[in-house]
Amino acid sequence: MRDEILAHMHNPGQLEKIYRRNKATFKRAFSCLYPELRGNTLADAWDARLNYESDDINWGKSGELLFIINASLVAFIIAKMPSFLPINEAFFYTRNIGFIIFPALMVYFAWKNRLSVGKIYLIAAATLLASIFINFLPDVKESDTLILSCIHLVLFLWAMLGFAYGGEDSNNVDKRLGYLKYNGDLIVMTTLMLIAGGIMTAVTIGLFKLIGFKIEEVYFKYFGIFGLVAAPIVGTFLTQTNPQLVGKVSPVIARIFSPLVLVMLMIYLSAIVYSGKDPYNDREFLLIFNGLLIGVMAIIFFSVAETSTRAKSQAEVWVLFLLSLVTVLVNGIALSAILFRISEWGIMPNRAAVLGGNVLILINLLLVTTQLFRIISKKAKITVVGHVIAFFLPFYVVWSIIVTFIFPFVFGFK
């Protein structure tokens, strides 16, 4: 979108069309370009317009709002399929949890970005084939490859959603970073909505209990499930039509939690030495260790995505650099523990999947850490970190495809 904006900086009508096509992406791309365009009358006017803070909430066009309502109802029907079809609940939810929300969001962005017919067919075909594949995998009890496929399928569907979010230029760096920022904003918005829904649920159940009605079972069975599946869909609609709602909240959260996570991580690593626990011989501890690694890496990526279009203070860059450095250490410990377990007990599906994931994370973190060091040394700008993150995202997608669709056959559905 940056190239489109630059190409039409002397065409106000065309700029307006680009803006209305995707307001959130336009605002991010323009904010990145504005320092270069400052002084241009049209650019200054757009800057004033985009940074005008209205007290009103934009509820979109009537057709868009109707689409969100229908999408939420379809997601609810999919979530309740085991209730009115002869389908085992455990079988259905373990394999199809991602198909409850992601297809609805894919359709929303395909419609919002006016995707070409070819790209729509590609996304639809990939999603349909993934659904057929996961549901026809043998129902082997205690199958590691089945569990791994179900987990990595969610990552694959997340990638397909990013494909739809990116529009016709999904390989663009700004689109990929915008997708990460959208995920961060969506987490904030969905969490707020679920908290509000939880309060309303408690009040509603309490009020009915006062007059002698116990509605807990019916309420959670229908209204509760509907609220859970509708929250990310409505949250997506709100973040896309009202970028200002969480536009300032997410960067603040990133600023606050980055140094806190850094301190926590350093204390935690020190505590490991005294606890006697180690990931080499304790499988459960290794799993928690890897979960911690993924969580910290996500914080680093979201922090960069949130602020990659503006200058960061030296203190912020130092925090991200130290956090990346410590996370590389954590990753190194986890990776050595995995290699130790493979050398002692042989290769297994779980170990192979975690090994591949950790290698990718380590390479990515090393690249990010190197670029952050260059920024501290004043040899690069913060935008280069965003470019590294955006460049590396497809590697995670490829790995998710390998684990989801190839691992079951390589390891004989074990």
Q: What is the pLDDT of residues 131-173, one digit of tens each?
A: 999 999 888 777 889 999 999 999 999 999 999 998 777 677 7
State residue 160's pLDDT score: 94
> Which range is most confident: 22-31, 66-75, 160-169?
66-75
> Which range is most confident: 48-52, 65-69, 73-77, 284-288?
73-77
Q: Are residues 111 and 240 in the same domain?
A: yes
- 283 vs 110: CA distance, rounded Å: 42
CA distances from 127 to 55, 154, 156, 165 (A): 39, 11, 9, 15
- 110 vs 257: CA distance, rounded Å: 33
Q: Higher pLDDT residue, 311 or 167?
A: 167
Residues 6+ apart with CB under 8 A from 259: 319
State residue 27's pLDDT score: 74
State residue 102's pLDDT score: 95
Answer whether residue 311 shows pLDDT above 60. no
Our CA angle for 22, 98, 91, nearest 5°, is 165
State residue 132's pLDDT score: 95
State residue 24's pLDDT score: 66
Read off the pLDDT band of 60 (50, 70, 90). low
- Asked, for residue 227, whether it belongs to a domain, the answer is yes
Q: What's the whole-model pTM score?
A: 0.81
CA 290 to chain centre: 18
The per-residue pLDDT for range 199-240, each reduced to its tens digit, is 999 999 999 989 888 888 889 888 899 999 999 999 999 888
Short-list 232, 288, 318, 239, CA closest to 58: 239
- 51 vs 58: CA distance, rounded Å: 15
Q: Are residues 235 and 329 in the same domain?
A: no
Q: 400: domain range?
A: 250-410
Q: Are residues 16 and 68 in the same domain?
A: no
The per-residue pLDDT for range 241-290, each reduced to its tens digit, is 877 777 667 667 777 778 888 888 888 778 877 777 777 777 777 777 77
Q: Are residues 134 and 283 in the same domain?
A: no
Over residues 352-359, mean pLDDT:
90
- Asked, for residue 285, whether it belongs to a domain, the answer is yes
State residue 306's pLDDT score: 62
Helix (H/G/I), strand (E/B), else coil: 93: helix
State residue 267's pLDDT score: 86
CA distances from 9 to 22, 150, 156, 371, 404 (A): 17, 46, 37, 31, 45
Read off the pLDDT band of 33 (50, 70, 90). confident
DSSP letter at 223? I
The per-residue pLDDT for range 76-93, each reduced to its tens digit, is 999 999 988 888 888 899
- Asked, for residue 24, whether it belongs to a domain, the answer is yes
**Among the ranges given (56-60, 63-67, 103-107, 220-224), the one the predictor scored with the smallest mean pLDDT:** 56-60
pLDDT, mean over the chain: 83
Answer whether residue 116 shows pLDDT above 80. yes
Q: Are residues 132 and 17 in the same domain?
A: no
Q: Are residues 256 and 206 in the same domain?
A: no
Task: Give the chain's domain count.
Answer: 3
Over residues 96-108, mean pLDDT:
93
Q: Are residues 260 and 402 in the same domain?
A: yes
Domain C-terminal end among 244, 272, 292: 244
Q: Are residues 87 and 46 in the same domain?
A: no
User: Percent of the chain having pLDDT more than 90?
Assistant: 27
State residue 13's pLDDT score: 77
- Asked, for residue 94, whether it belongs to a domain, the answer is yes
Query: What sign has the CA pseudo-torsion 18, 24, 27, 32?
Result: negative
- Asked, for residue 33, whether it belongs to a domain, the answer is yes
Q: Higher pLDDT residue, 127 or 380?
A: 127
- Asked, for residue 57, whether it belongs to a domain, the answer is no
Answer whether residue 125 shows pLDDT above 90. yes
- Asked, for residue 339, whether it belongs to a domain, the answer is yes
Q: Are residues 185 and 102 in the same domain?
A: yes
- Asked, for residue 307, whether it belongs to a domain, the answer is yes
Answer whether residue 333 shows pLDDT above 80. yes
The per-residue pLDDT for range 372-407, each reduced to its tens digit, is 888 888 877 777 888 888 888 899 999 999 999 999
Q: Are residues 239 and 260 in the same domain?
A: no
Domain C-terminal end among 244, 266, 287: 244
Over residues 353-373, mean pLDDT:
90
Answer whether residue 354 shows pLDDT above 60. yes
Q: Are residues 150 and 133 in the same domain?
A: yes
Domain C-terminal end among 204, 227, 244: 244
Answer whether residue 58 shows pLDDT above 70. no
Q: Are residues 191 and 231 in the same domain?
A: yes
DSSP letter at 222? I
